[in-house]
Amino acid sequence: MKIRYDPKVDAAYISFKDSHVQVTTVRITEDIAIDFGPHEEIVGIEILDASEHLNLDPKEPSVELENLIAV
């Protein structure tokens, strides 16, 4: 799993798969979309206005990991 944040556009993307597959995007809200793969597995989640939705400081974003190892 990878989490990317772009402070220029205040967007975050949580990627659950490393491979590039064709996805179907379903908008949950105006700012949140889920990408589904060919077998309806979740490939990723896009969050616009991420600093607001995730309570991030755009200048110093941070993520706390629980029961995970950062690589």
Tell me the C-alpha distance between 20 and 53, whole Å.
Answer: 26
Decide if 62 is inside a domain: no
Each residue's pLDDT tens digit in the chain (71 positions)?
899 999 999 999 999 987 788 999 999 999 999 999 999 999 999 999 999 999 888 888 887 778 887 77
Decide if 70 is inside a domain: no
Q: What is the DSSP letter of 12?
A: E
Decide if 69 is inside a domain: no
- Written as one letter, the residue type at 44 is G
Decide if 20 is inside a domain: yes
Q: Domain range spanning residue 26?
A: 2-53
Tell me the C-alpha distance between 26 and 33, whole Å.
Answer: 6
Please name which of 5, 2, 29, 31 lies closest in space to residue 15, comparing C-alpha atoms. 2
How many domains does one find in the chain?
A: 1
Decide if 59 is inside a domain: no
The pTM score is: 0.85
- The helix (H) or strand (E) run that includes residue 45 is strand 42-48
